[in-house]
């Protein structure tokens, strides 16, 4: 009976043809390593955020007088199992970003941004950027002390433009800051618009971008950890069942770790300070942004000049965007590029150090260290053209194509 229903649908929707073409006849390199699973994990994390988010909107009230209570009383105490949904959403945001960072670093390591995958990288960068904004807007909604003051600080960042030499007098920064908040203070208007952006606009944009990203991955083919394009007929393995099962297993492992945190280790994702309602007249002693922004924050505050700090942290984002054009070496994958590998290590150490420094108080020593690791981060990006030129030399010496 079931089989007949299946056949009936298949004759009309041609699903098995689709499956055959997209999953079985789709050949991928057989030497894909574990880090290639971060992409699918990110998709799972995204799905978790959407599902848990939909349920949260049913009980959350985007109003400055009721937001805190709806999040911490209605959701956490009154409605059955909503505490679980909120835990999933709060921890999920952190896991999502963590996976995205791993995914980005994997892409850098294997040079997955090189021809013909530049566009995949650029769309990925936009996803990352929109994701940061999504996380930022969502963080304001519980209307706790950290939510509020974190946003006060974030909305002040654009005003650094106003301390620039010439353009400073135009007050562009203050204008941006006011447009972010919808007025001079963070209040009902800010909360309302952040709610709208967070639950509708930004997720829809993300959905669209992720689809484009996936399409582009398929269009260019999956990169190879060895750094060469495969002859799909001879060297590829069918996506199903080889990759589906392998990645399925990894995803199960990921979910196990995720739910361990959700049930037993939530205090970092719902910090105690945020269980105090927002008070515009009481700044908490320590306000630092969420961990996924700490590296930028350290760059920003280590540089003694406010405007230069602002430039430096935006430059980091720009470097990331134009990475495919900074690195024009004919070689792919850090496995074949010893010089690149060394600089990649510098990048990893610098970004981790910057993140850790962001949690520490801004003493002069920490500012010094911040500068050192900012230099390390920039050194990675700026060394790429040099390494590329050297590698072109090697490549030609070994009889590679003429440039």
Partner 1 sequence: METSRRDLMGLAIGGLGVVGVLGVLYPIVKTLAPSAASLAGAMMEVDVASIPEGQVRVVSWKGKPVFVVKLPQGFQWTGKAKEDKNAKLLQGQDAYALIAVCTHLGCVPLWKPQGEAEFNYPVFHCPCHGGFYSPWGDNIAGPPPRPLHVPPQKRDGSKLVIGEPGFVKELT
The residues binding partner 1 (CB under 8 A) are 178-179, 181-185, 187, 189, 193, 279-285
CA distance 365 to 368: 5
Rounded to 5°, angle at Cα 8 from 6 and 14: 85
Let me know: does 139 contact 147? Beta carbons within 8 Å: yes
Q: Between residues 227 and 284, which has the closer beta carbon with respect to partner 1?
A: 284
Main-chain dihedrals φ then ψ at residue 303, nearest 5 degrees: -80, 125
User: Is the CA virtual torsion 205, 210, 212, 213 positive or negative?
Assistant: positive
Q: How far is the CB of 279 from partner 1 (least distance, A)?
A: 7
**Taking the complex as a whole, how short is the minimal distance between the CB of residue 186 and partner 1, in angstroms?**
9
CB of residue 285 to partner 1, shortest distance in Å:
7
Supply 177's token pair. 């800051």
Nearer to partner 1, 175 or 244 (CB): 175
Cβ distance to partner 1 smaller for residue 33 or 283: 283
CB-based contact 257:313 (threshold 8 Å)? no
Cα 168 off chain centre by: 31
CA-CA distance, 34 to 250, in Å (whole number)? 8
Give least dist CB 204 to partner 1, A. Answer: 14
CA distances from 143 to 17, 214, 283, 393 (A): 50, 35, 14, 57
Task: Give me the least distance between CB of 168 and partner 1, in Å please.
Answer: 11
Of 102 and 197, which CB lies nearer to partner 1 in the complex structure?
A: 197
Q: How far is the CB of 147 from partner 1 (least distance, A)?
A: 16
CB closer to partner 1, 98 vs 287: 287
Q: CB-wise, 8 or 200, nearer to partner 1? A: 200
Q: Give the nearest distance from C-beta 188 to partner 1 in angstroms.
A: 10
* Cβ-contact 226, 333 below 8 angstroms: yes
Query: Vertex 130, ends 127 and 134: CA angle to 5°?
Result: 130
Nearer to partner 1, 177 or 329 (CB): 177
């Amino acid at each position: 009976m079931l089989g007949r229903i299946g056949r009936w649908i298949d004759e009309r929707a041609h699903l098995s043809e689709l499956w055959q073409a997209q999953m079985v006849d789709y050949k991928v390199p057989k030497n894909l390593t574990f880090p290639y699973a971060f992409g699918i994990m990110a998709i799972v994390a995204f799905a978790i955020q959407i599902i848990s988010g939909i349920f949260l909107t049913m009980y959350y009230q985007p109003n400055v007088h009721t937001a805190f209570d709806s999040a911490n009383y209605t959701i956490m105490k009154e409605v059955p199992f909503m505490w679980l949904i909120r835990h999933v959403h709060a921890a999920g945001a952190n896991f999502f970003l963590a996976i995205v960072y791993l995914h980005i670093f994997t892409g850098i390591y294997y040079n997955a941004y090189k021809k013909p995958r530049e566009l995949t990288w650029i769309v990925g960068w936009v996803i990352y950027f929109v994701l940061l904004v999504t996380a930022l807007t969502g963080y304001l909604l519980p209307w706790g002390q950290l939510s509020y003051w974190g946003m006060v600080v974030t909305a002040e960042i654009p005003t650094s433009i106003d301390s620039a030499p010439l353009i400073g007098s135009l007050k562009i920064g203050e204008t941006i800051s006011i447009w972010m908040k919808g007025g001079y203070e963070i209040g009902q208007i800010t909360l309302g618009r952040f709610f709208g952006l967070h639950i509708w606009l930004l997720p829809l944009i993300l959905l669209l971008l992720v689809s484009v990203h996936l399409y582009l991955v398929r269009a260019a083919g999956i990169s190879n950890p060895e750094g060469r394009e495969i002859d799909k007929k001879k060297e590829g393995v069918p996506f199903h069942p080889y990759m589906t099962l392998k990645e399925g297993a990894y995803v199960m492992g990921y979910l196990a770790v995720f739910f361990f945190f959700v049930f037993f280790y939530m205090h970092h994702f719902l910090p105690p300070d945020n269980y105090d309602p927002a008070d515009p007249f009481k700044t908490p002693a320590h306000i630092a942004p969420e961990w996924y922004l700490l590296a930028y924050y350290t760059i920003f505050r280590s540089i003694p000049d406010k405007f230069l700090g602002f430039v430096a942290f935006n430059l980091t984002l720009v470097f990331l965007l134009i990475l495919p054009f900074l690195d024009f070496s004919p070689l792919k994958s850090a496995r074949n590029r010893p010089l690149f590998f060394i600089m990649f290590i510098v990048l990893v150490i610098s970004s981790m150090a910057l993140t850790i420094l962001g949690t520490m108080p801004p003493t002069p020593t920490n500012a010094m260290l911040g500068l050192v690791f900012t230099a390390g981060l920039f050194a990675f990006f700026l060394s790429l053209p040099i390494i590329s030129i050297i590698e072109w030399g090697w490549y030609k010496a070994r009889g590679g194509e003429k440039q």
